[in-house]
């Protein structure tokens, strides 16, 4: 698939590392039936460019380029109070000499704190121009369009970046990742049997799926939902994957059955910590010195751990975990991830 016909900015020098996790693999196997868990590998997309990396960077390479092509001077986006996507979008705006405004949705009532640590601290340090806070259930597109209208009224031009950067243009970033993985598998002589990826706003999961199908990469993609069960999540991923395939002109109808996700590790609610997440964050930190975050990657890794303990993966299968970043939000959940606060789930 030829991505060169789409405008793209580059925020990362070279591919992100593809690494085996020997100590984590050993620790996980010790908790699996008969000690026969998988070999766990990691794709370090937490080391992508923009402050300080994560999966949104790949999407923003295409989205920021499109914004510039449309003559925008301001990026407008939305997310939750500790949004990695908002932080990355602000970083891209700074790189391109643009301003940035957010619409923050309080999915958990009263969860936005202007002086909070984590990504909220970075919002202020990096100099977000304005933040509009709205209650859960708000029509986020309409709220962002209102910000764009306010800018237009004073002679400026905003560009709306959807939540998570998840649309067909943003999804191209994970088509590029699929191609990067294919090359790394070849160069490193690695055979991966299954891939575990986070499934939220659907851009990463859907973009990878379109990229795998379009490049004939026959490795199962296993999504771990961070906010929804499969009955609600899978249609979103399918829609995103089909939109990306259509944008690329692949003349391909993606079957809904091509989407696989699990929804057992996101509860009690999106962004609310649980014990499985705490175990996952601590295990990877203490075996490989790699940081996960409480909202996304901690729960995604909890899913990988849980599936391994259910013997979902074959003995000695090579399972790749896509690390989508987000460690900056750890500092907003210190008591939870250190086990100093009681959790009900």
Catalytic residue ranges: 83
| Cβ atoms of 119 and 84 closer than 8 Å | yes
CA–chain centroid gap for 113, Å, is: 23
Other C-beta atoms closer than 10 Å to the C-beta of 9 total: 17
Other C-beta atoms closer than 10 Å to the C-beta of 154 total: 6
Omega within 30 of 0 (cis) for the link into 268: yes
| Cβ atoms of 260 and 253 closer than 8 Å | no
| Cβ atoms of 325 and 45 closer than 8 Å | yes
Backbone φ and ψ of 43, nearest 5°: -105, 115
> Residue 15, SS3?
coil
Q: Which residue has the tokens 């790189």?
A: 95
Determine the number of helices (DSSP H) and then strands (DSSP E) in the chain: 11, 10
Backbone φ and ψ of 202, nearest 5°: 95, -10
SS (H, E, C) 258-309: HCCEECCCCCCCCCCCCHHHHHHHHHHHHHHCCCCCCCCHHHHHHHHHHHHH
Tokens of 258: 């091509």
| Cβ atoms of 157 and 151 closer than 8 Å | yes
Q: In angstroms, rounded to a whole number, what is the distance separating the alpha carbons of residues 270 and 246?
A: 30
Q: Which residues contact 59 (CB under 8 A, 6 or more apart)?
A: 164, 165, 166, 170, 171, 172, 173, 174, 203, 204, 207
């Amino acid at each position: 698939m030829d991505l060169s016909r789409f405008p793209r900015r580059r925020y990362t020098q070279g591919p992100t590392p593809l690494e085996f996790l020997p100590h984590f693999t050993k620790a996980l196997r010790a908790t699996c039936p008969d000690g026969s868990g998988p070999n766990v590998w990691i794709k370090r997309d937490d080391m992508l460019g923009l402050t300080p990396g994560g999966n949104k960077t790949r999407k923003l390479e295409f989205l920021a380029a499109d914004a510039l092509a449309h003559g925008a001077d301001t990026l407008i986006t939305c997310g939750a109070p500790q949004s990695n996507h908002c932080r990355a979008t602000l970083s891209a705006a700074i790189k391109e000499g643009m301003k940035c405004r957010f619409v923050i949705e309080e999915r958990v009532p009263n969860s936005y704190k202007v002086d909070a640590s984590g990504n909220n601290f970075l919002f202020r340090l990096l100099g977000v121009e304005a933040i509009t806070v709205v209650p859960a259930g708000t029509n986020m597109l309409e709220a962002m369009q209102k910000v764009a209208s306010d800018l237009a009224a004073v002679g400026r031009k905003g560009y709306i970046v959807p939540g998570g950067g998840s649309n067909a243009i943003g999804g191209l970033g994970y088509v590029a990742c699929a191609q990067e993985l294919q090359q790394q598998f070849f160069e490193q002589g690695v055979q991966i049997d299954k891939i575990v990826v986070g499934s939220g706003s659907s851009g990463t999961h859907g973009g990878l799926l379109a990229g795998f199908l379009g490049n004939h990469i026959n490795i199962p993609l296993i999504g771990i939902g961070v906010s929804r069960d499969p009955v609600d999540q899978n249609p979103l991923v399918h829609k995103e994957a089909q939109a990306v395939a259509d944008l690329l002109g692949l003349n391909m109808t993606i079957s809904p059955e091509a989407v696989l996700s699990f929804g057992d590790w996101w509860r009690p609610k999106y962004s609310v910590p649980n014990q499985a997440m705490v175990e996952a964050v601590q295990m990877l930190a203490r075996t490989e010195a790699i940081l996960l975050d409480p909202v996304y990657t901690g729960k995604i890794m909890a899913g990988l751990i849980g599936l391994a303990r259910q013997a979902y993966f074959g003995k000695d299968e090579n399972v790749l975990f896509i690390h989508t970043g987000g460690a900056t939000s750890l500092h907003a959940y210190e008591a939870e991830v250190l086990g100093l606060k009681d959790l009900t789930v």
